[in-house]
Amino acid sequence: MPSTRLRSPNAAAGLSTWRDGAAKQAVAEFVEAARAVPAEDRVAVFDNDGTLWCERPMPIQLDFILRRLVEMAEADEQLRDRQPWKAAYERDRAWLGGLMEQHYAGDDSNVRVLAAGILKAYEGLSMEDFEARSEAFLRSARHPTLDRAYLECAYTPMQELLAHLAANGFSNYIASGGGRDFMRPISDELYGIPRQRVIGSSAALDYADGTITHKAEADFLDDGPQKPIRIWSRTGRRPLLAAGNSNGDAEMLAFTRHADKPVLRLLVLHDDAEREFDYTTGAERALEQAAEEGWTVVSIKNDWATVF
């Protein structure tokens, strides 16, 4: 029976944009140890927003959604006095910016209001049409403050890590709170992750006459405790590696544990205001858990020689 062990002279090869230090060493040691694990068990899962690409000043998909809400409000005056169309139409950044802070503080009232608007925005749209709109947006829109295209907002060190893991026999998955079907059109090109390995939030779907369409109903939000559930449902395994950046990723990282196999839990710390952004809002609990459980905290400022 052929061995599944891969041999390489340097377990950190391919991580040229990672500075020498504890984080890079942890990756190298993990990859070296994982070579003894059967290939089918080498599963790695990654959050997307804030872990694989930039999420500030707002998640990229939120920009996509807000543009659709504005279109709807421009076409229907009655929507301009209702949230979330009102905030989108008036460019009310205070209302929009407070959504995630309220969410992490335990108040999801406005998050639910936004979610209802999102579901209504794409009701009846076929999956093919939704993906075509998503892809067109991602290939044309630009980040509002970084002066670069959205597809240039992926973190180069994480792209290198994904390629390095794939070269060492890993199956990489996205496990994101973002929309599954929003990410699928570009996941392979941007991350080397095929569309069937994208796990994310989803609206309920309907089928009729050979077409799958969006319903104005939620299916699931792939965040917090749902992340390990969805990972298990898709892969049937606990991952060996998980990477995230927020409280919503904590359960996924905690789920990544084995008594007899190497594991690596990475938590990306946004601490570089010069090259990206500096914030810990929404990551407080995850950072505490990282300190308590020995997760590897990846400092953008100190561990990455380049960001984009």
Global pTM reads 0.92
**CB of 104 closer than 8 Å to CB of 247:** yes
Q: What angle do CA 42, 246, 230 make, to 5 degrees?
A: 45
Residue 267 has a pLDDT of 98
C-alpha distances in angstroms, 243 versus 6, 175, 214?
Answer: 23, 9, 30
Residue 262 has pLDDT above 80, yes or no: yes
Find the helix or strand (DSSP H, E) in which 193 lies. none
* pLDDT confidence band for 12 (50 / 70 / 90): low
Residue 224 has pLDDT above 70, yes or no: yes
Q: Which residue from 268, 285, 266 is spatially nearest to 276, judged by alpha carbons?
A: 268
Residue 3 has pLDDT above 60, yes or no: no
Residue 104 has a pLDDT of 67
Give Cα 201 to chain centroid, integer Å.
10
Residue 8 has a pLDDT of 39
Residue 95 has a pLDDT of 86
Q: What is the Cα–Cα distance from 65 to 175, expressed in whole angstroms?
A: 20
**pLDDT per position as a tens digit, 75-134:** 999 999 999 999 999 998 888 878 777 876 778 888 889 888 988 999 999 999 999 999
Residue 5 has pLDDT above 50, yes or no: no
What percent of the chain has a predicted confidence (pLDDT) above 90? 84
**CB of 44 closer than 8 Å to CB of 239:** yes
| 242 bridge partner residues | 45, 265
In the numeric block, which tokens belong to residue 107?
Answer: 């108040």
Range 154-182 average pLDDT: 97
Residue 160 has pLDDT above 60, yes or no: yes
* Three-state DSSP state, 276: coil
Residue 291 has pLDDT above 90, yes or no: yes
How many Cα atoms within 13 Å fall on the side-chain side of residue 21?
15
Residue 9 has pLDDT above 80, yes or no: no
Residues of the chain with CATH 3.40.50.1000: 22-53+148-303
Residue 149 has pLDDT above 80, yes or no: yes
In the numeric block, which tokens belong to residue 270?
Answer: 């946004």
Residue 46 has a pLDDT of 99
The verdict on domain 22-53+148-303 having CATH code 1.20.120.140 is no
Backbone φ, ψ for residue 304 (5° rounding): -115, 120
Residue 308 has a pLDDT of 97
Residue 254 has pLDDT above 50, yes or no: yes
Range 179-191 average pLDDT: 97
- Contacts by 18-23, CB closer than 8 A, 24 or more apart: 18/157, 18/160, 18/161, 18/303, 18/304, 18/305, 19/302, 19/303, 19/304, 19/305, 21/302, 21/303, 22/296, 23/266, 23/296, 23/297, 23/298, 23/299, 23/303
